Amino acid sequence: MQPYIMYSDLGVKWGSPHWPSLGQYYKPFQYVATGQTSLIIYRYLAKEIFFSTFAVALVLVPIIVSGRLINSLARANPGEMDFIFIMQLIAFRLPSMLMLILPLALFLGVLLAYGKLYLDSEMSVLRASGVSGRQLVLFALGPAIGGALIVASISLYVSPVAFKYLEISYAQKDALNEFDTLTEGRFKKLPGGRTVYTSKFLDNRRKMDKVFIAELDKGTGKLQITYAKSGFTHTNAAGKRYLILEEGYRYTGIPGTADYDQLQYRQYGYLLPERKLVIDTREPYAKTTGFLFTSREDIYIAELNWRLSLPLLAFIVVLMAVPLSRTSPRQGRYAQLIPSILLYLFYLSLLMSARDKIEEGAPVIVMWAVHLAFLLYGLSLIFFEQLWSNLWNSLPSLTRFKKGAK
């Protein structure tokens, strides 16, 4: 019988058909022909990273989106946001959320995927077959580069376009007349103390049935109540818009007294306030990346460097995640999760602080110095693995502290 060959970048290891194949116990590490093992290991690790990253993103996206949505609805007046506008708000803000969610999801995905291999002792088999820690980093570079490219496409193109459409949606909403935002069958309090009600809309919201309007004059204390069987909007030759009420009554008086004026009318007109569509194009997050490259204003320079930083963030955190995922079966799969998340949040908070400093006039080197510091830290974890391991083991653990206390 011909012996099997197990190949790694560090050399060729020979096995015997009488020796139980490790592939019987660990799926990706079967004895295969020379030159194919590295590809099998890469595919297996990439699949594990992808599914872990997808699972993390699937959890984080609804949490962050719902938090942003609740915050927006809490600051809005009742009835101010309709369902269509809420869906537009979520859709146009989603790319900006993904810019921050995807690097974190990729970071946690590598931690969970590699941590699972350590917990199931599959990483020990890899090491025994000649795969080093540096090779594990190389296997993770594929997902890292792919994730960085996705984040780059979102931050440099998709997000600015989405924010531009978001500004257009806000402008269109602000340009709506106060009567255009009514909801049939519900009382709505409008600016100025006016309360309006209509039972239903007809003819694609151009007509209203059974209209009720109550308005309190704070100067005189008189309450004016207007009722009409129907109403519709009309624009005259000068471009002025009116709400025309038909077949109704108007009562004017002071609440608590019997002195009320009653007016019956066939038609009664309300002049609607004029509002223009104004789109705010000064916001840096709505500017195209091409414009930011040509601008010399600090706020736009900060936005450009922020967009360029996020893909690099996704790449660097993967370099850190591979050595940080190292754990033992005794520690559990999630032993390094909380410290790693705190490290990521510290990294991200430094980048945000650097962006604020650049907006105030600081040089752009401030932001790139943060990236350089964490890149060097990640490389030190890779190339000086034993040094960090000895340093970590020299620290007093919680278990030792408990034993000493006894």
Can you say whether residue 361 is alpha, beta or left, with left for phi > 0 and alpha for psi between -120 and 50 degrees? left
Q: Report how far apart, in Å, the C-alpha atoms of 252 and of each of 15, 44, 270 are.
A: 100, 79, 16
Packed helices 337-359 and 365-383: angle between N→C axes, nearest 10 degrees: 160
**Span 317-338, pLDDT tens digits:** 998 888 888 776 666 666 677 8
Q: Is the pLDDT of residue 26 over 70?
A: no
Confidence of residue 15 (pLDDT cuts 50, 70, 90): very low
Three-state SS for 274? coil
Which tokens sit at 45? 């690790």
Core vs surface per residue 237-255: b (16+ CB within 10 A) or e: eeeebebebeebebebbee
Three-state SS for 165? helix
pLDDT at 397: 46
Confidence of residue 398 (pLDDT cuts 50, 70, 90): very low
SS3 track for 284-338: HHHCCHHHHHHCCCHHHHHHHHHHHHHHHHHHHHHHHHHHHCCCCCCCCCCCCHH
Q: Is the pLDDT of residue 354 over 90?
A: yes
- Spatial neighbors of 306 by CB under 8 A, at least 6 apart, are 155, 351, 355, 367
For range 130-158, the mean pLDDT? 87
Q: What mean pLDDT, rounded, does the chain reach?
A: 76
**CA nearest 374: which of 316, 299, 304, 292?**
316
pLDDT at 403: 44
Q: Report residue 204 CA to chain centroid gap.
A: 36
The total number of residues written for the chain in this structure: 406
**Span 263-311, pLDDT tens digits:** 888 888 877 766 665 556 677 888 888 888 988 899 999 999 999 999 9
- Spatial neighbors of 311 by CB under 8 A, at least 6 apart, are 148, 149, 151, 152, 155
Check if the beta carbon of residue 292 is closer than 8 Å to that of residue 283: no
Range with the poorest average pLDDT among 185-189, 221-225, 357-361: 185-189
Cα-Cα end-to-end distance for the chain: 60
pLDDT at 363: 92
**CA nearest 177: which of 83, 81, 266, 273?**
273
Check if the beta carbon of residue 123 is closer than 8 Å to that of residue 114: yes
Percent pLDDT > 70 in the chain is: 74
pLDDT at 304: 93
Q: Report how far apart, in Å, the C-alpha atoms of 274 and of each of 239, 240, 383 are.
A: 9, 7, 67
Higher pLDDT, 71 or 155: 155
For range 333-349, the mean pLDDT? 83
Q: Is the pLDDT of residue 315 over 90?
A: yes
Higher pLDDT, 290 or 239: 290
Q: Is the pLDDT of residue 357 over 90?
A: yes
For residue 120, the 8-state DSSP code is T
Confidence of residue 399 (pLDDT cuts 50, 70, 90): very low
pLDDT at 151: 94
pLDDT at 266: 86
pLDDT at 181: 66
For range 215-222, the mean pLDDT? 77
**CA nearest 192: which of 181, 208, 178, 203?**
178
Range with the poorest average pLDDT among 101-110, 246-255, 313-322: 246-255
**Span 84-104, pLDDT tens digits:** 777 778 888 888 889 989 999
- Spatial neighbors of 180 by CB under 8 A, at least 6 apart, are 205
Q: Is the pLDDT of residue 368 over 50?
A: yes
pLDDT at 66: 82
